[in-house]
Amino acid sequence: MTATTSGRARQTAWVTLLVVLVLVTAVLPLLLTGGQSGGRTLDPADTSLNGSGALARLLEAHGVEVVRVETPGAAVAAAGPQTLLLVTEASFLNRDAARRIAEAPGDRLVAGSVPHLDVLASGVRRQGPVRARSRAPECALREAARAGDAFTGGMSFAGPPGATGCYPAGDGHALVRYTADGHTVTVLGDASFMTNLRLAEDGNAALALNLAGAQPKLVWLAEPDDPGEAGDPGAGAEGQARSLGDLMPGGVRWAVLQLAVAVALAALWRGRRLGPVVVERLPVVVRAAETVEGRGRLYRSRRARDRAALALRAAAADRLAPRLGLPRTATAEEVAVAAAARAGLDPEPVLALLCGPPPGDDTALVALAAHLDTLERQVRDS
Amino acid sequence: MALTGRAGLLAALAAIVVLLAPEPGLVVPAAALVLATLMAADLLLAGAVRGLRFQRDGERRVRLGQSAAIGLVVDNPGPRRVRGVLRDAWQPSAGAAPRRVPLDVPARERRRLVTTLTPTRRGDREAVAVTVRSVGPLGLAARQRTFHVPWTVRVLPPFLSRRHLPARLARLRELDGRHPALVRGQGTEFDSLREYVVGDDVRSIDWRASARRSDVVVRTWRPERDRRVLIVLDTGRTSAGRVGVAPVSVAPVGGDRSSGWPRLDWSMDAALLLAALAARAGDRVDFLAYDRAVRAQVSGASRTELLSSLVDAMAPIEAELVEADAAGMVAAVLSRARRRCLVVLLTDLNAAAMEEGLLPVLPSLSSRHMVVVASVADPRVAGMAAGRGTAEAVYDAAAAERLRGERREITAVLRRHGVEVVDALPEDVAPALADAYLALKATGRL
């Protein structure tokens, strides 16, 4: 008894622990990301603090055509010799897509912590993270020099030979521009100077306009609504498969395999029985009253009122006969007459009760049983 | 061989390592290799189970409703400690507890474990298997082996009606004339002469003896002694039906008592009370269980051993799902009872079975012996017969009344053959049968 009780208590404790764990894992990410929710970061169509709607409007006011695209395919299609491709968010891209973007014609502006930097801006090396803050340009690059101080940083870069570096930070520069194969590629460690929040500070707006408005047409690659469909429409199913595999770190697949091994071992542990199953020949469990119940149901389903009434009347007569001093062999009529005489009743209804015709319906049968009981009681009490 | 939960847990922990490792593709096979090595080492280091020796001791028989302790001595002749778990498996209705016990037998030592049986039904309960799982020092893998260590415990009928025995024995002493109440012995057999004391019935004065002794002398009587009683138990299909409510003391813990107790068990209870009473009354009691063949019998048992040999013979009897062979039963009775004796037939007053089976052969039995038929009535039928109010209840009542009418009829037929009939509810059948026996004894009809 105590063993099972303590076992149950332990089970309850385990269940509680599990529930708490599940709740914590569900709530924790919400708490951690709660402050950043709302708005799509660096999206030209977004007007929240994290978006870049203001910059897009400004560029359009300056006569720059802003084209917002969500897929690398669309970006490549929209790009031309007189265009600038702005990449601020590329975590949904895979290497193939990044490579195709890198091969697109026109200039390229890469801002923020963008993956596949070695493809998008080959030759630029990361020097290490630095704090994003207001920095002075300290370089000859016209766009930066004219803008003045700007909110830059995030990552410091070292450019290839011949590259221009601005906003020195750490061992390198927060902005690096170089030219390769006729494209001008600009890399920035942090893109937050282009957000609605920071655009009005320092020379951020000037720097953003100078950099993004360099060409008459700006192709802005924004994060799609549904990253699952982010692949190139032309790539079809291949794109979808890649996107899922790309989102998973490499170790997950192996960890799942290892977990499968663990599950298999657990199955072996639970599946091994401690000794054989014990069989036993058990006696049948049959209640003796089952035949009587069956007969009762049979009467009911066949509406066998005649037989039922006969059985009830015979039983009543059998019980009455010894009380009235009659032999067991007495007929129902004799019993009825004697009973009526004893109880001081009219013999006619008693005769009808004990040997009348079978009742016409179930109600009459129920009434008959009640009347027989009453007659027995009257004879007993008289 | 068997694994433990630790092996799975270890593999699951390895999954975390794999997730964080720089080269997960290498960690997975490495983890498998390490785990396999550990398990192999654990298996090698676990105490050997093959050489274990077992020995049982304890009770051989137990009354239904009571518990028996069975000891199991585990002898470990090997060089390593055997640590793990042991399961002593019995048939489920033996009610063995605990189901598994922790085991720890050091090298070349022995330990005694106790299994408590609380059987839930009558009969022979057997030990099926002893399984030992010896876990290695790391607790990752275990050696396992199943042994056959036979032991049988006979579960005897509970004889619940023995609480009625003192009252019946007091009645018996009254009949004997040994009762302090100075009642004249009511028997029919002349016992002795003794001096008259105030209070004796004057009708019992022996005038001839009084004349010789110049003192008033009364005759005393006593019931007949050394009569033979043959209890016949019908183990055919009608005895399998369950009636009443299983007594609390024998019902399994948490089990369903409402399914009742077989007629056979109620009949055995009645037979035991009758046998105990008759043995005290100085009669010789024989026992026969019969359906289509003799299932069990006790004959010529001494008074002191009668009850124990009776319960022993009754214990393994189960109701057979065949129609009892009444003619064969009567033949078996006649071959065993050459002198006139009291034949008590414990069966069911089933009209159809009786008319085809017992009634045609009854005269040959009742002409030579005093026959008592005892039957267990079903309280559920009485309950149904009282049903009123709705059509369903009245139809059921009609069916119940019909059955009771048939029973009354067959009872009347049996009485016409000079057979005594005892038809009582389950709890009452044993005392009712004892009373019928005492009444027969008092009137000297044995």
pLDDT of residue A244: 67
pLDDT of residue A245: 62
Rg for chain A (alpha carbons), in Å? 47
Asked whether the beta carbons of B48 and B78 are under 8 A apart, the reply is: yes
- Res B9 pLDDT > 70: yes
Q: b/e map of B194-232 (b: 16 or more CB within 10 Å)?
A: eebeeebeeeeebeeebeeeeeebbbbbbbeeebbbbbb
Together in a domain, A164 and A78: yes
Mean pLDDT computed over every residue of chain A: 82
Q: What is the CATH number of the domain that holds A138?
A: 3.40.50
Asked whether the beta carbons of B407 and A382 are under 8 A apart, the reply is: no
Name the residue type at position A51. Answer: G
Q: A265 and B3 in contact by Cβ < 8 A?
A: yes
Which token pair is A86? Answer: 């702005």
Together in a domain, B121 and B202: no
pTM of the predicted model, to two decimals?
0.68
Residue B72 counted as domain residue: yes
Q: What percent of chain A has pLDDT over 70?
A: 89
Contact residues for B207 (Cβ-Cβ < 8 A; gap 6+): none
Tell me the residue range of the domain where B195 lies: 189-222
Asked whether the beta carbons of B329 and B234 are under 8 A apart, the reply is: yes
Question: A119-123, B124-128, B305-309: lowest mean pLDDT where?
Answer: A119-123
What are B358-369's pLDDT values in tens digits?
999 999 999 999
Q: Rounded to an integer, what distance in angstroms lies between the CA atom of residue B369 and that of residue B207?
A: 36
Q: What is the CATH number of the domain that holds B52?
A: 2.60.40.10
Residue A44 counted as domain residue: no
The minimal CB distance from B92 to the residues A259, A280, A370 is found for A280
Asked whether the beta carbons of B259 and B224 are under 8 A apart, the reply is: no
pLDDT of residue A82: 83
What are A269-278's pLDDT values in tens digits?
999 999 999 9
Together in a domain, A221 and A300: no
Tell me the nearest-neighbour CA distance from B211 into chain A, angstroms. 50
Together in a domain, B229 and B205: no
Does A31 or B97 have the greater pLDDT score?
Answer: B97
CA B167 to chain CA mean position, Å: 23
Q: Which residues pair with A173 in a beta bridge?
A: A157, A168
Residue B103 counted as domain residue: yes
Tell me the residue range of the domain where A327 lies: 296-381
Residue A260 touches chain B, beta carbons under 8 Å: no
pLDDT of residue B193: 79
Residue A117 φ then ψ, to 5°: -65, -30
Tell me the nearest-neighbour CA distance from A282 into chain B, angstroms. 9
pLDDT of residue B161: 92
Residue with tokens 């409007």: A57
pLDDT of residue B180: 43
Q: A311 and B402 in contact by Cβ < 8 A?
A: yes
What are A175-223's pLDDT values in tens digits?
888 887 778 888 888 888 888 888 888 888 888 888 888 888 888 887 7
- Res A243 pLDDT > 70: no
Mean per-residue pLDDT, A27-47: 68
Q: Which residues pair with B285 in a beta bridge?
A: B229
What are A110-148's pLDDT values in tens digits?
887 777 777 878 878 888 888 888 888 888 788 888 888
- Res A5 pLDDT > 60: no
Scanning chain A, the segments in alpha helix (DSSP H) are: 2-33, 53-61, 72-78, 95-102, 117-120, 142-147, 204-212, 237-247, 250-271, 290-302, 305-323, 332-343, 347-355, 362-381
pLDDT of residue A246: 67
Grade residue B183 by pLDDT with cuts at 50, 70 and 90.
Answer: very low
Q: How distant, in Å, are the alpha carbons of A213, A239, A254 from that of A219?
A: 11, 22, 39
- Res A231 pLDDT > 80: no
- Res A248 pLDDT > 80: no
Name the residue type at position B180. Answer: P
Instruction: With CA atoms as reference, report the closest residue to A153 among A183, A189, A184, A120.
Output: A189
Search chain B and give the residue with CA nearest A279.
Answer: B91
pLDDT of residue B127: 94
Mean per-residue pLDDT, B95-109: 93
- Answer with the one of A181, A202, A226 that is the final residue of a domain: A226
What are A310-365's pLDDT values in tens digits?
999 999 999 999 999 998 888 989 999 999 999 888 999 999 999 889 999 999 99
Q: Rounded to an integer, what distance in angstroms lies between the CA atom of residue B214 and that of residue B200?
A: 18
Q: B398 and A296 in contact by Cβ < 8 A?
A: yes
Together in a domain, B241 and B312: yes
Q: State how many domains chain B has.
A: 3
Contact residues for B374 (Cβ-Cβ < 8 A; gap 6+): B267, B270, B344, B345, B346, B347, B421, B422, B423, B424, B429, B432, B433, B436
Q: State how many domains chain A has.
A: 2
Residue B180 φ then ψ, to 5°: -60, -20
Q: How many other CB atoms are found less than 10 A from the CB of residue A128?
A: 11
Instruction: With CA atoms as reference, report the closest residue to B118 among B67, B154, B159, B153.
Output: B67
The minimal CB distance from A274 to the residues B100, B242, B403 is found for B100
Grade residue B223 by pLDDT with cuts at 50, 70 and 90.
Answer: low
Q: A255 and B408 in contact by Cβ < 8 A?
A: no
- Res B337 pLDDT > 60: yes
pLDDT of residue A201: 83
Q: A278 and B89 in contact by Cβ < 8 A?
A: yes
- Answer with the one of A171, A198, A226 that is the final residue of a domain: A226
Residue A258 counted as domain residue: no
What are B247-290's pLDDT values in tens digits?
876 665 555 667 788 999 999 999 999 999 999 988 999 999 99
Grade residue A229 by pLDDT with cuts at 50, 70 and 90.
Answer: very low
The DSSP-derived string for A70-86 is: -SHHHHHHH--TTEEEE
Q: Rounded to an integer, what distance in angstroms lies between the CA atom of residue B385 and that of residue B379?
A: 10
Residue A253 touches chain B, beta carbons under 8 Å: yes
Mean per-residue pLDDT, B76-92: 94
Residue A341 counted as domain residue: yes
pLDDT of residue A51: 81
Phi-psi region of A154 (alpha: psi -120 to 50; beta: other; left: phi over 0): left
Residue A263 counted as domain residue: no
Angle of CA points A128, A134, A137, to nearest 5°: 80
Does B388 or B257 have the greater pLDDT score?
Answer: B388
Grade residue B319 by pLDDT with cuts at 50, 70 and 90.
Answer: very high
